[in-house]
Chain A
Amino acid sequence: DTGVSQDPRHKITKRGQNVTFRCDPISEHNRLYWYRQTLGQGPEFLTYFQNEAQLEKSRLLSDRFSAERPKGSFSTLEIQRTEQGDSAMYLCASSLWSRETDTQYFGPGTRLTVL
């Protein structure tokens, strides 16, 4: 069990640039979640996938944000035309879902700084 991995761990970009983050879930986990965490706050849900299907998106996920999980394994989160307000830690989690026992395991996160 290698755990959830995320790449890169840190990203510094200029306002207006596009960025893409990658998440590799625990193998055989069918659900993958993205959260955003700003300084001093708890994580906030962005979106989740079951296999390759994106099942829910938060209102926090503006049109500049897009997420994919093309083969039901790794996922990417892209932010277009970044803004300073996008600066945050982006966390990925995965789970082997069942209604009774769903437990999400988190990766180390990608810290985004928009200058």
Chain B
Amino acid sequence: AQSVTQLDSQVPVFEEAPVELRCNYSSSVSVYLFWYVQYPNQGLQLLLKYLSGSTLVKGINGFEAEFNKSQTSFHLRKPSVHISDTAEYFCAVRGNNAGNMLTFGGGTRLMVKP
């Protein structure tokens, strides 16, 4: 079984400032990692994913994340945020065994202020 912890429930930040959203996971097997974004009253949109290879993954809207196996982390970063980045961000993990469901963290609300 897997579990995901998003340490910050809310992250306020000013426009054009950098941001990091933290994600830690636990698993007894190797994992694949995902970040999704959810705008109000909408479904989840895939931002980026780590399946294998380079540990630095680039996604849409200028976001990137780094997989750190020793620290079991997959933090999401953006060097300069926009007002339009205000949303809920979810980290998710899937084990590489037979089970294919995603296990999500509790989410981090990113609030970008002008």
Contacts and interface: CB of A to CB of B under 8 A. Distances in A.
A108 B43 contact: yes
Interface string A74-102: 00000000000000000101000101111
Question: Which size class do B's interface residues fall under?
Answer: 20 to 34
A97 B100 contact: yes
B103 A45 contact: yes
B71 interface: no
B44 to A, nearest CB: 4
Contact of B104 (A40, A44, A101): A44
A110 B92 CA distance: 21
A31 B94 CA distance: 15
Interface string B46-61: 1001011000000000
17 contacts: A4-B43, A6-B43, A31-B100, A42-B92, A43-B104, A44-B104, A45-B101, A48-B100, A91-B43, A100-B52, A104-B102, A105-B46, A106-B43, A106-B44, A106-B45, A107-B43, A108-B42
